[in-house]
Amino acid sequence: MDKQLGFFTDNKPPTQTDKVLGMLKENDLGVCATTFNREYIPRFSARILELRKQGHEIEKRKCFQTSHNHHTKQVRYILMPPRKHRLSPSE
């Protein structure tokens, strides 16, 4: 195939997993589940699982933002900073 036709471009659009990771990196206080839905990422929990399998530490906490007007219990996801040193069981 001809490169001039654009079949072999390196500029791939970001995946939903890339988008979720970017959103988590931009928001230190976490990203509410409603925000992922608003950004048209309905299966964000699967993307969170993929990121966890890649080694990202992501915590889940209750969302208390009153501006979201939650009708049910909602959670927010927080990307934790990488651990510089993990203690071994012998330490």
Helix or strand run (H / E) with residue 48 = helix 44-53
pLDDT above 90: percentage of residues in the chain: 44
How many alpha carbons lie under 13 Å from residue 20 in its C-beta half-sphere?
27
Segment of 28-32, 44-48, 80-84 carrying the highest mean pLDDT = 44-48
**Segment among 10-14, 15-19, 23-27, 71-75 with least mean pLDDT:** 71-75
Quote the tokens at residue 50: 């993929």
- pLDDT value, residue 42: 87
74 pLDDT tier (thresholds 50, 70, 90): confident
